Chain A
Amino acid sequence: MDQLAPPADGRVFEQHGATGAMARLAARNFVLNVLTLSFYRFWGKTRVRRFLWENTTAWGEPLEYTGTGKELFIGFLVVLMVVLLPLIVVMAAIQTAAATFPPAALLGVPVYLLVLFLIGAGLYRAHRYRMSRTVWRGIRGGLEGSAAVYGLTFVLVALASVVTLGWAGPWGEMKLARYRLANTTFGARRFQCDAAAGPVYNRFAVVWLVGFAAFMAMPLVAVMGEDATSLVPLLSAVVIVIVPLAIAIPLAAYRAAVYRQLAAGTRFGGLRFAADVRTWPLIRLVVGNWLITALSLGVLRPVAALRTFRFAAAAITAQGTLDAADLAQGTAARPRTGEGLIAVLDGAGDF
Chain B
Amino acid sequence: MRDFPATFHDGRTAAAHPVTVRATPAGLRILGEDGLMRAFWTTADLRADGQLPGKGGVRLRCLADPDARLILPDGEFIRTVAPFITATPRERLGGWKAAAAAIAAVGLLAAAALGLPAASRHLARLVPPSLEARWGAALTEGMEQRWGVCQAPAGDAALALLTARLAAPLAPELRPRRVVVVRQAMINALALPGGTVLLFQGLLDDALGPDEVAGVLAHEFTHIAERHVTAATIRGLGLGALVTLVTGDASGALAGGATALLAGAYSRDDEEAADRGAVRLLDAASVSTAGMAAFFRRIGEREARGGALPAWLSTHPDPEARAAAVTRAGPERAVSPALPAEQWAALRAICGKANPGGPGTLRH
Enumerate chain A interface residues (CB-CB to B < 8 A): 2, 14, 16-17, 32, 35-41, 43, 46, 54-55, 57, 60-62, 64, 68-70, 76, 80, 84-85, 88-89, 92, 96-97, 99-101, 136-140, 187, 324-329, 343-347
Give the Cβ gap from B252 to chain A, nearest Cβ, in Å. 8
Identity of the chain A residue whose Cβ is nearest the Cβ of B137 in the assembled complex: A100
Identify which of A39, A46, A68, A344 contacts B250 (C-beta below 8 A).
A344
Give residues 53-76 of B contacting A (CB, 8 Å): 53-54, 56, 59, 67-69, 71
**CB pair A36 B105 closer than 8 Å:** yes
Identify which of B54, B67, B236, B250 contacts A84 (C-beta below 8 A).
B250
**Does B106 belong to the interface (CB within 8 Å)?**
yes
Interface size, chain B (Cβ < 8 Å): 46
Residues in A whose Cβ lies below 8 Å from that of B102: 35-37, 39-40
Identify which of A16, A40, A346 contacts B251 (C-beta below 8 A).
A346
**CB pair B67 A101 closer than 8 Å:** no
Q: List 12 A-B contacts (CB under 8 A).
A: A40-B98, A57-B53, A84-B241, A84-B244, A100-B138, A137-B69, A140-B67, A187-B14, A327-B15, A329-B12, A344-B244, A347-B249
The 10 lowest CB-CB distance pairs between A and B, nearest first, are: A100-B142, A16-B53, A325-B15, A327-B14, A2-B15, A138-B11, A138-B9, A324-B14, A36-B102, A137-B9
The answer for the CA separation of A84 and B102 in the assembled complex, in Å, is 25
Give the Cβ gap from A35 to chain B, nearest Cβ, in Å. 5
**CB pair A137 B16 closer than 8 Å:** yes
**CB pair A137 B248 closer than 8 Å:** no
Residues in A whose Cβ lies below 8 Å from that of B105: 36-37, 39
Residues in B whose Cβ lies below 8 Å from that of A136: 14
Q: Do A138 and B91 contact each other (CB < 8 Å), given the known contacts A101-B138, A324-B13, A329-B11?
A: no
**CB pair B142 A41 closer than 8 Å:** no
Residues in A whose Cβ lies below 8 Å from that of B59: 62
Identity of the chain A residue whose Cβ is nearest the Cβ of B12 in the assembled complex: A329
**CB pair A139 B14 closer than 8 Å:** yes
Q: Do A70 and B91 contact each other (CB < 8 Å), given the known contacts A80-B244, A138-B67, A344-B250?
A: yes
**CB pair B56 A187 closer than 8 Å:** no
**CB pair A85 B237 closer than 8 Å:** yes
Q: Do A62 and B241 contact each other (CB < 8 Å), given the known contacts A38-B248, A324-B14, A343-B248?
A: no
**CB pair A39 B244 closer than 8 Å:** no
The answer for the CA separation of A68 and B90 in the assembled complex, in Å, is 9
The answer for the CA separation of A130 and B62 in the assembled complex, in Å, is 23
Identity of the chain A residue whose Cβ is nearest the Cβ of B247 in the assembled complex: A38
**CB pair A92 B237 closer than 8 Å:** yes
Cβ contacts B205-244/A at 8 Å (1 or 0 each): 0000000000000000000000000000100110011001
Residues in B whose Cβ lies below 8 Å from that of A36: 98, 101-102, 105-106
The answer for the CA separation of A325 and B9 in the assembled complex, in Å, is 10
**CB pair A57 B248 closer than 8 Å:** no
**CB pair B54 A324 closer than 8 Å:** no
**CB pair A345 B91 closer than 8 Å:** no
Residues in B whose Cβ lies below 8 Å from that of A89: 237
Q: Do A43 and B142 contact each other (CB < 8 Å), given the known contacts A61-B71, A85-B237, A345-B250?
A: no
**CB pair A329 B56 closer than 8 Å:** no
Enumerate chain B interface residues (CB-CB to A < 8 A): 9-16, 49, 52-54, 56, 59, 67-69, 71, 91-93, 98, 101-102, 105-106, 109, 135, 138-139, 141-143, 233, 236-237, 240-241, 244-251
Identity of the chain B residue whose Cβ is nearest the Cβ of A89 in the assembled complex: B237
Residues in A whose Cβ lies below 8 Å from that of B237: 85, 88-89, 92
Q: Do A326 and B142 contact each other (CB < 8 Å), given the known contacts A35-B102, A37-B106?
A: no
Give the Cβ gap from A120 to chain B, nearest Cβ, in Å. 15
Q: Do A88 and B240 contact each other (CB < 8 Å), given the known contacts A14-B54, A99-B142?
A: yes
Give the Cβ gap from B4 to chain A, nearest Cβ, in Å. 19
**CB pair B139 A137 closer than 8 Å:** no
Residues in B whose Cβ lies below 8 Å from that of A16: 53-54
Residues in B whose Cβ lies below 8 Å from that of A327: 13-15
**CB pair B247 A69 closer than 8 Å:** no
Q: Do A101 and B106 contact each other (CB < 8 Å), given the known contacts A60-B54, A137-B9?
A: no
**CB pair A46 B91 closer than 8 Å:** yes
Residues in B whose Cβ lies below 8 Å from that of A57: 53-54, 56
**CB pair A41 B56 closer than 8 Å:** no
Q: Which of A16, A136, A137, A343 has the most CB of B within 10 A?
A: A137
Residues in A whose Cβ lies below 8 Å from that of B249: 344, 346-347
Residues in A whose Cβ lies below 8 Å from that of B11: 138-139, 329
Identity of the chain A residue whose Cβ is nearest the Cβ of B98 in the assembled complex: A32
Give the Cβ gap from A32 to chain B, nearest Cβ, in Å. 7
**CB pair A328 B54 closer than 8 Å:** no
Identity of the chain B residue whose Cβ is nearest the Cβ of A187 in the assembled complex: B14
Give the Cβ gap from A288 to chain B, nearest Cβ, in Å. 23
Q: Which of B49, B141, B233, B248 has the most CB of A within 10 A?
A: B248
**CB pair A68 B142 closer than 8 Å:** no
Identify which of B15, B92, B106, B138 contacts A97 (C-beta below 8 A).
B138
